[in-house]
Amino acid sequence: MSRAPDTWILTADCPSLLGTVDAVTRYLFEHRCYVTEHHSFDDQRSGRFFIRVEFRQPEGFDEQHFRAGLAERGQAFGMAFELTPPHYRPKVLIMVSKADHCLNDLLYRQRIGQLSMDVVAVVSNHPDLEPLAQWHGIPYHHFALDPANKPAQEARVWQVIEDTGAELVILARYMQVLSPELCRKLDGKAINIHHSLLPGFKGAKPYHQAYEKGVKLVGATAHYINNDLDEGPIIAQGVEVVDHSHYPEDLIAKGRDIEAQTLARGVGYHIERRVFLNGGRTVVL
């Protein structure tokens, strides 16, 4: 599903208390807002309630008055909420290395309107993909990585993030581990994609390792980054069946397709405000 372009998005979470659904939906009714989509989830283990509502505004809708009233209504529930206006397009910065499949897919989906976002810059530790960014009219920043002075390179990356006002960073096969400091700055605002194979097959040439073990599934995971490598809260996953006839090159090709599709789905969930952080897990509505 995708967001209708003319709707507002209301997202909220709070402790699990009687009347939480009514508090939100009745408030919308009282303000003559027409609900077009509604999803909620009550997590019995964490004791938290999550809700996402899309609605169309009535004539004369006053955003500031609406926000103030909802904040007052939600106080009794300890409710935190966000309100996203129609046609909102977050500013996105994409980080890449040499592989182009995820970058190309994201830029294509932006161009055709499938992902409602504005890519404001592409940052890379290699110059290889600059022509692709230039073809889309997007600034490309090549910051070569000196292993002896990684903080200097990350400082330049962070400067671009600040200068462009990027609200989301996508690691589209950026083959470098971010420092704990940068992970902290991007907490909940950076999405990574990596292969999902069982066993884990860490290190060089994971698909060749998988081939040697005779894997029967290949997949990919889109997740928020944190200081634990490839172990941040999961947003979306994809998987496909393979068999003995798939050579390493076939596994790599399938992996590229799944990575691109899964990353795009995870990014879509994020920019449509469908993802809630729930401790180390996510709720996707």
**DSSP 3-state percent helix, strand, coil across the chain (nearest 5):** 35, 30, 35
| Opening angle at CA 99, ends 97 and 104, nearest 5 | 105
Could you give the CA distance from residue 137 to residue 133 in angstroms, rounded to a whole number?
A: 6
- Give the C-alpha distances (Å, rounded to integers) separating 190 from 117, 182, 262: 14, 10, 15
Q: For 200, list phi and psi in degrees, rounded to 5.
A: -70, -30
Annotated catalytic residue, options 100, 187, 230, 250: 230
Residue type, 108: Y
Joined tokens for residue 268: 């879509």
230 is catalytic: yes
Angle between helices 248-271 and 206-213 (to 10 degrees): 120
- Give the C-alpha distances (Å, rounded to integers) separating 61 from 6, 8, 54, 115, 284: 14, 11, 15, 27, 28
Radius of gyration of the chain (CA): 21
Joined tokens for residue 145: 């990585």
* Closest by CA position to 12, among listed 65, 79, 88, 72: 79
Joined tokens for residue 151: 């903080």
Could you give the CA distance from residue 234 to residue 192 in angstroms, rounded to a whole number?
A: 10
**Hey, which residues are catalytic here?**
230
